[in-house]
Amino acid sequence: MGCRRRPPAQREALFYETYYSLSQLYPLLLLLLLIVLGTCLALLTLHLASGREFSSNLSFLITLFVALAVFSLILILVCIESIFQECTRVFSAVIWACLLAMGYIFVFTSGVVSAWDQVSFFLFIIFTVYTMLPVCMRDAVVAGLASSLSHIIVMGVYLSARRESRADLAVQLLANAVIFICGNLVGAYHKHLMEVALQETFQETFKLIQSRVKLESEKRHQEHLLLSILPAYIAMEMKAEIIERLRDGGRQESANNFHNLYVKHHKNVRYRTPIPTPRFWSHDVTLANHMEAGGVPGRVHITEATLSHLGGVYAVEETCRWQRDPFLKENKVKTFLVIDPWVGAESCNNTLSPVPGEGPKMRASVRMTRYLESWGAAKPFANLKHLDTIPADQPGFTRNNYSESSLGSLNQSKTVERVRSPKGPDEELDGVDEKFFQVLEQLNSQKQWKKSEDFNRITLYFKEKLMEKEYRLSALPAFKYYTACTFLVFLAGFLIQILVAHKTPALGISYGISFFLFTLLLFICFAGNLVKCFQKGPKMLYWVPSLSTAVCTQPWLRVTLGITTILVVLTMAMFNLFFIPTPWCPPPSHNPAVPVNATRESPSTDSLFSIPYYVYCCILGLLSCSLFLHMNFELKLLMLTLCLVIYNVLFLHSHAWLSDCYVGHLYPNQTMLRPGVLKEPKLMGAVSFFVFFFTLLALARQNEYYCRLDFLWKKKFKKEREEIETMENLNRVLLENVLPADVAQQFIGQNRRNEDLYHQSYDCVCVLFASIPDFKEFYSESNVNHEGLECLRLLNEIIADFDELLSKPKFSGVEKIKTIGSTYMAATGLNATSGQDNQQDAERSYTHLGIMVEFAVALIAKLDIINKHSFNSFKLRVGINHGPVVAGVIGAQKPQYDIWGNTVNVASRMESTGVLGKIQVTEETARALETLGYTCYLRGVIKVKGKGQLRTYYVCTDLSRGGLQASMLS
């Protein structure tokens, strides 16, 4: 058995996992491994540079070497994408476990164990679990909470039995809990924002690809239908002109006042009837019609000129032309019947016997039902939407236009296309799969470092200045949430300092001012959510909610508030360090860096254990930069670099003596031994600052790249979606010019089989035939009129003007069926539900008959106007009848819409037996029109071919020549 196809939901979930893995998890995991390896090398270098003894830090050094080996191996395995895809969760668990083990080894080696030990390292583990490890939100929360609780519990249990002051231990553990909670919240918020953004982009991408594949399938199907009716060169010219008009917003005007005419001269063309669309015009066409009318069922009827080109391949027999068709006799056309080589020859008497009922008035064109209607210049654009959505050609955009090459290729391979069925659902799904994986190839993180047509690989700026400007000016509704989450970081720093720092007036005043600033910032950002509250207040405050909108839409205001918010958090993280009371420190001999006056102050050492927590507050301040996901990378780089310099100068230089003083208290009897690198607050702080600096820069770079990529894709997808909608409308318009709108929907996007033909029965349909009999005499072929081209141009103007009437609301119920030479065929009542007429609403069911009469009068008036401008005297001959018909489409791959029934035949006879300038109707139709208020007068009883004697009437049109006629044409 073959592989079973996954259900659509499972396939979409699989796609999203692959998309999320390639776009976010895989590149960030590589960066995390590089940062960990870099940190291990930095710790080894720092240990060697500081001159510490190997014997006292042996466990610490072994841990670093083992970590280097383990993480290097993981990095090599992760670089093999196939292994990474299969073992993603295993890699995540191993990395998390290794980092956790490293943290505990660092706690219990190289010095005295304190409550603040490795809090920054565990904070790093917590933050990276959410932001850089390839795990889901649930697993990240579990790992983050496990890391937090394990540190608090282990430190609490271990130190509670060894410390003298349990009050200080409880305070420090509470501060640790606040730090870990803040780290979990910031990490979870960051992960949530990225997942939401990626999910939205994924959904848009997936839907667009599905739409694109569907459109391509529909385009092939519709183009196949169109090319089955029109030659490729005509379809190509028409589509190119329509698209050009749409690009110009429909403002393009023709160089002359004529409608477009798509005509091409052909030489050595053989005709057979019924002639397939498109329509051919020439004397040869007329001759071909009479050849068909004078032919024999089951035999091929050819002229002598055609026989001369057959080269004697077929045996023929001469016909008695005067017995078959008067036109052939009048023009002395010698004709032959081809003898079927597989069937014995039949006697001349049997094959040439006249067919009863056929006379010189037999109209072969009536039997031509497969004919393309005239392509008016007005109606094809009437139903088209999104006129301004066709974008100009731009580099990097794939257009789905009906190009010359596509039409040409379809024309060359039309034989194959005729037997090739459109793609089925499974093949369309395969197309979605293939195109989606092509998109996934563009998501590899290494792409941002390679040459791109859209980005500068260093700055990530868009190469197109207008796009860069649009990106920077784009609205950011999520800015208020960035500010709110930053306030939580600020609140965490406040709680930490309240718990562990010495309570000074400066602490209260500084945080009082900061809280006021944050309250003002949050009020500005969330003012839009308080619209109802302000509307209940005085009118002078109605403008306040607009502040929130201004923050989201004005980049300069948004950047200013963002920088202010971050600077407040970064400043308050270390501001009160300057107001710590000078503690008592060991003698200067043991701590040469401690100022001399520090040994003369009060013996209080309560505030010394707050030194590491100021470091942690600074790290939380750095994390606040990562909360503003859409802040430009260069701005984040500037602020992070500035903070890195200031914090290191503060803890390694100006206030380094505080760390030395605290170390002197922790190691009072170990003058010869020095604590490990991560046991000194100032070195621990410096290492932590650099680790988080590079971590946050990696995240900022990654976020910047994908924010810009998301913006670029949405912009491209928007253009492609507009193009898809436009092309769908264009295809629909083109088909609706061949088929009625409701019938065209049966064939757009559907793969109909031969047995699934469309048909519909109607009880009451009014059928009109309107012809211009004297156009036949008007038509001629000469060098003066370009071999009949100018005659056809005039006919095209007439038909196009007739078509324009269909766009009027009054005639929206009139459905044009086809044109046959210079005969116009239309019907009303086809938009009614089948079988809806009954005896009770018979009068209402006849309403569309009146519409058809008024349409016929409008046609006559239109022709009069054309005569006036073209100096002609054409007259319209109109026949109308109503009754039951069957409407349907013949052919699934070559659909042709038509209506059949006795009603249609009689309507055609009403026209052919009518009088120029008159509207002839049957007796039943006349009675129906009289119930609607129309006047009909008796013509008399006439002989109608195939129907015998019929009583017919003329519809009075005198009243329509005045104001009524003008209103119909207006």
CA distances for 655 relative to 615, 648, 688, 732, angstroms? 12, 10, 17, 76
**Residue 227's closest CA among 735, 595, 704, 624?**
735
Res 515: pLDDT: 93
- The continuous run of DSSP H or E covering 848 comes out as helix 847-870
For 696, half-sphere exposure in the C-beta direction (CA atoms, 13 angstrom radius) is 32
Q: Is 938 helix (H, G, I), strand (E, B) or coil?
A: strand
**Alpha-carbon dihedral of residues 917, 923, 926, 931, nearest 10 degrees?**
170
Three-state secondary structure call for residue 590: coil
Contact 176, 155 (CB under 8 A): yes
Nearest of 389, 145, 555, 74 to residue 137 by alpha carbon: 145
Mapped onto helix, strand or coil, the DSSP state of residue 294 is coil
Task: Using CA atoms of 332, 338, 343, 346 in order, give the dihedral in degrees to the nearest 10.
Answer: 10
Q: Quick check: 155 pLDDT over 70?
A: yes
Q: Which residue has the higher pLDDT, 284 or 671?
A: 284
Peptide bond into 603 cis (omega under 30): no
Maximum average pLDDT range among 15-19, 538-542, 603-607: 538-542
Angular region, 711: left φ>0, alpha ψ -120 to 50, beta rest: alpha
- Structure tokens given for 630: 């859409």
pLDDT tens string 436-472? 666 655 555 455 555 667 778 788 888 888 888 888 8
Select the more confidently predicted residue: 377 or 108: 108
Rounded to an integer, what is the distance from CA 698 to the centroid of its chain? 31
Cα torsion angle, 635, 637, 638, 640, sign: positive
DSSP state at residue 806: H
CA distance 307 to 318: 11
Kindly state the DSSP code that residue 598 receives in the 8-state scheme: G
| Whole-angstrom distance, CA of residue 367 vs CA of residue 67 | 89
Query: Has residue 962 got a pLDDT over 50?
Result: no
**What stretch of H or E contains 920?**
strand 919-922
Q: Is the pLDDT of residue 769 over 80?
A: yes
Q: Which of 189-193, 213-217, 765-769 has the highest mean pLDDT?
A: 765-769
Phi-psi region of 946 (alpha: psi -120 to 50; beta: other; left: phi over 0): left
Rounded Cα distance between 482 and 561, Å, is 11
Q: How confident is the model at residue 731 (pLDDT cuts 50, 70, 90)?
A: low
Residue corresponding to tokens 């380094």: 656
Higher pLDDT, 509 or 219: 509
> Residue 137: which of 15, 11, 20 has the closest Cα?
20
- Reported confidence tier of residue 419, pLDDT bands at 50, 70, 90: very low
Quick one: which H or E segment has residue 877?
strand 877-890
Backbone conformation region of residue 917, classed left if phi is above 0, alpha if psi is from -120 to 50, else beta: left
Q: Which two tokens stand for residue 280?
A: 């051919």
Please count the CA atoms within 13 angstroms of the CA of 422 that sit on its side-chain side. Answer: 24
Matching residue, tokens 């253009």: 719
Q: How far is CA 716 from the centre of its chain?
A: 8
Q: Is the peptide bond before 278 cis (omega within 30 degrees of 0)?
A: yes
401-406 average pLDDT score: 35
Q: pTM value?
A: 0.63
- Average pLDDT, stretch 197-221? 71
CA pair distance 336, 347, nearest whole angstrom? 14
Task: Tell me the HSE value of 383 on the side-chain side, using a 13 A CA sphere.
Answer: 19
Query: Residue 818 to residues 331, 373, 660, 803: CA-CA distances in angstroms?
Result: 30, 5, 99, 11
- Cβ(867)–Cβ(727) below 8 Å: no
**Neighbour-count burial of 49, counting CB atoms closer than 10 A to its CB (0-12 exposed, 13-18 middle, 19+ buried):** exposed
Q: Cα(941)–Cα(952) distance, rounded to whole angstroms?
A: 6
User: Alpha helix locations (H) across 779-825?
Assistant: 789-806
Q: Which amino acid is at 656?
A: A
User: What local confidence, expressed as pLDDT, does residue 457 receive?
Assistant: 75
Q: What percent of the chain has pLDDT over 90?
A: 28
Catalytic residues: 909, 945
Flag whether pLDDT at 970 surpasses 60. no
- Phi, psi angle pair for 950, to nearest 5°: -130, 140
862-914 tens-digit pLDDT: 999 988 988 888 999 999 999 999 998 876 556 678 899 999 999 999 999 99
Closest Cα partner for 445 from 196, 631, 691, 701? 701
pLDDT digits 0-9 by tens, 354-374:
444 444 443 333 333 232 233
Tens digits of residue pLDDT in 919-960: 999 999 999 999 988 999 999 999 888 788 999 999 998 754
What length does the chain have?
Answer: 970
Backbone φ and ψ of 426, nearest 5°: -65, -40
Task: Name the nearest CA neighbour of 552 among 625, 476, 665.
Answer: 476
Who contacts 420 (Cβ-Cβ below 8 Å, separation ≥6)? none
Using the Cα atoms of residue 891, residue 897, residue 903 and residue 904 in order, give the sign of their dihedral: negative
Closest by CA position to 355, among listed 385, 333, 324 = 324
- What is the reported pLDDT for 408? 35
Q: Which tokens hold the place of 326? A: 């008067």
pLDDT of residue 524: 85
Pairing of strands 877-890, 896-900: antiparallel
Give the H or E element holding residue 814.
strand 814-820
Distance CA 84, CA 459 (A): 29
477 with 556: CB under 8 angstroms?
Answer: no
In this prediction, residue 323 carries a pLDDT of 60
How does pLDDT run across 543-560, given as a tens digit for each residue?
777 778 888 888 888 888
Residue 943's contacts (CB-CB under 8 Å, 6 or more residues apart) are 949, 950
pLDDT, tens digit, 9 for 90 and up, residues 167-180: 788 899 999 999 99
Cα–Cα dist 633/617, whole Å: 23
Alpha carbons 19 and 565: distance in angstroms, whole number: 34
Contacts of 827 by beta carbon, 8 Å cutoff, 6+ apart: 765, 766, 767, 768, 814, 815, 817, 852, 885, 899
Mean pLDDT of the chain, nearest integer: 76
Whether residue 700 is predicted with pLDDT greater than 80 in this model: the reply is yes
Cα(703)–Cα(137) distance, rounded to whole angstroms? 18
**Cα first-last separation, the chain:** 69
